Chains A and B, each alone.
Chain A
């Protein structure tokens, strides 16, 4: 879930160095490519992917789930009690990630500013998968 971003500050210097040696057309293509990359990076930074940054045991029979939220987005903390991908069981994606019917555990209110939450859940099962769903 973590984004690995290119080292943006190094790009302009690399670009200007290579433009010296390329034709104008090639240089234009390079500039356009870098602009597209920067736009993509900016869009990813502006709307970061939902990210559960910590799950830990709490008291004798609970866990806490920690996550941050962006402004103006609704976050749903969801869970799934089975991770087995079987033909007759939980459907999975090609990368073996369960895609079955996830249940909402808690929905964070849509706020006009970023925030963070800590949600508690009981350890009733041997295992439970959690994910964050964000809209829009």
Chain B
């Protein structure tokens, strides 16, 4: 390969265009892990996703107020990975979850009056670790153009703390014990906050399947990529099951700077995120489930052949949510990748 070709090889697959960095796949493949010049060896990725959940929706109507509940969520992924070859690699996702939040709840008891409690605090802990494999099923790289497709699959393990889910389920069961038998009731109907306990829980208590597909194309300085993810949730802590989640995103980009030792690109990304309703003991909660569309820019940078970085912001175009929920005001994401 010529020297110029080497530069292109660095920049061709610079970004996989994965804006929702809170997710496990995004953390791993948000920078240049999926680029063409993948060599066997270690790769270390650090990614950050910050999402302020300060918009409160009640049956899709925005709730106004001066002292509403909120959750500022930060998830940092440390992702060591190893590429066995150009076509096959594995990554281990270690999420560190931090929530700064305020939520008000009515805590029910079978033996005393309910207590209204406002909790303003923070939660820090290791989330659910994921192990994900990548297989490059198709790859075509020429000087002027290129195309590639990756398939991703993995497992998320129940390593994160689940005390908050256990507490939420316990409150559900106490409240339901107070209802006449046979009364139809939402499993999370006792909640008076859009920030639920399961929203704050670092872990799920479940083994979940992770599946993904990424595709990318380049022609000269222009590129286009897209990715699809599916999270298959299983029953976790205390019979609680998070709803399955589908994410899709992608968009066109252009390399603004092409230098021998660094590159800079800009991309516009449209994202779709759909979370199904959560379940408790097999009953769906109509206070969960969300569909959102985002649009935002993303900037990518490579320095040499070992370092790359990506950063972007997602602005909500439209969010619909069931029941009472706090939804994102916006999403900020960034990733740093070092290839050894």
**Could you list which residues of chain A lie within 8 angstroms of chain B, going by C-beta atoms?**
54, 56, 58-59, 64, 105-106, 109, 111-113, 115-121
- Structural contact, A109 and B116, CB atoms closer than 8 A: yes
Given A112-B68, A115-B192, A120-B110; 9 other pairs, CB 8 A cutoff: A54-B180, A56-B180, A59-B110, A105-B113, A106-B114, A109-B104, A113-B324, A119-B114, A120-B178
Q: Ordered nearest first, which 7 A-B pairs have the shortest CB separation?
A: A113-B58, A118-B178, A112-B63, A109-B116, A64-B178, A112-B65, A106-B113
The interface bits of chain B over 97-127 (1 if a CB of A lies within 8 angstroms of the residue's CB, else 0) are: 0000000101011111110100000000000
Distance of A48 from chain B, by nearest CB (Å): 18
Cβ of B2 under 8 Å from chain A = no
> A58 — which chain B residues lie within 8 A by C-beta?
178
The complex places the Cα of A56 from the Cα of B179 at a distance, in Å, of 10
- Structural contact, B175 and A118, CB atoms closer than 8 A: yes
**Could you list which residues of chain B lie within 8 angstroms of chain A, going by C-beta atoms?**
56, 58, 63-65, 68, 104, 106, 108-114, 116, 175, 178-180, 189, 192, 324
> A106 — which chain B residues lie within 8 A by C-beta?
113-114
Q: Interface majority SS on A: helix, strand, loop or mixed?
A: strand
Q: Interface majority SS on B: helix, strand, loop or mixed?
A: loop
9 contacts between A and B (CB under 8 A): A58-B178, A64-B178, A109-B104, A109-B106, A112-B58, A113-B63, A115-B192, A119-B113, A120-B178
> B192 — which chain A residues lie within 8 A by C-beta?
109, 111, 115
> B110 — which chain A residues lie within 8 A by C-beta?
59, 120
The complex places the Cα of A105 from the Cα of B113 at a distance, in Å, of 8
Closest to A77 in B: B113
The complex places the Cα of A118 from the Cα of B189 at a distance, in Å, of 11
> B116 — which chain A residues lie within 8 A by C-beta?
109
> B114 — which chain A residues lie within 8 A by C-beta?
106, 117, 119-120
> B180 — which chain A residues lie within 8 A by C-beta?
54, 56
| A58-B178, A113-B324, A115-B192 known; A120 vs B65 contact (CB < 8 Å) | no
The complex places the Cα of A111 from the Cα of B68 at a distance, in Å, of 10
Distance of A78 from chain B, by nearest CB (Å): 13
Closest to B109 in A: A120
Distance of A59 from chain B, by nearest CB (Å): 7
Closest to B189 in A: A116
Closest to A115 in B: B192
> A116 — which chain B residues lie within 8 A by C-beta?
189
The complex places the Cα of A106 from the Cα of B56 at a distance, in Å, of 26
- Structural contact, A112 and B64, CB atoms closer than 8 A: yes
The complex places the Cα of A117 from the Cα of B185 at a distance, in Å, of 12
> A105 — which chain B residues lie within 8 A by C-beta?
113
The complex places the Cα of A56 from the Cα of B183 at a distance, in Å, of 14
Distance of B285 from chain A, by nearest CB (Å): 15
The complex places the Cα of A82 from the Cα of B114 at a distance, in Å, of 25
The complex places the Cα of A59 from the Cα of B180 at a distance, in Å, of 12
Distance of A45 from chain B, by nearest CB (Å): 18
Q: Output the residue of B104, B111, B113, B178 with the most chain A CB within 10 A.
A: B178
Closest to B180 in A: A56
Closest to B68 in A: A112
Distance of A111 from chain B, by nearest CB (Å): 6
Distance of A51 from chain B, by nearest CB (Å): 17
> A54 — which chain B residues lie within 8 A by C-beta?
180
Q: Output the residue of B110, B112, B192 with the most chain A CB within 10 A.
A: B192
- Structural contact, A120 and B113, CB atoms closer than 8 A: yes
The complex places the Cα of A64 from the Cα of B112 at a distance, in Å, of 11
Closest to B59 in A: A113
The complex places the Cα of A113 from the Cα of B60 at a distance, in Å, of 12
> B108 — which chain A residues lie within 8 A by C-beta?
118
- Structural contact, A120 and B63, CB atoms closer than 8 A: no
Q: Output the residue of A117, A118, A120 with the most chain B CB within 10 A.
A: A118
Closest to A72 in B: B65
Distance of A12 from chain B, by nearest CB (Å): 29
> A120 — which chain B residues lie within 8 A by C-beta?
109-114, 178
Distance of B259 from chain A, by nearest CB (Å): 54
The complex places the Cα of A116 from the Cα of B114 at a distance, in Å, of 13
Distance of B311 from chain A, by nearest CB (Å): 35
The complex places the Cα of A7 from the Cα of B110 at a distance, in Å, of 42
Distance of A53 from chain B, by nearest CB (Å): 11
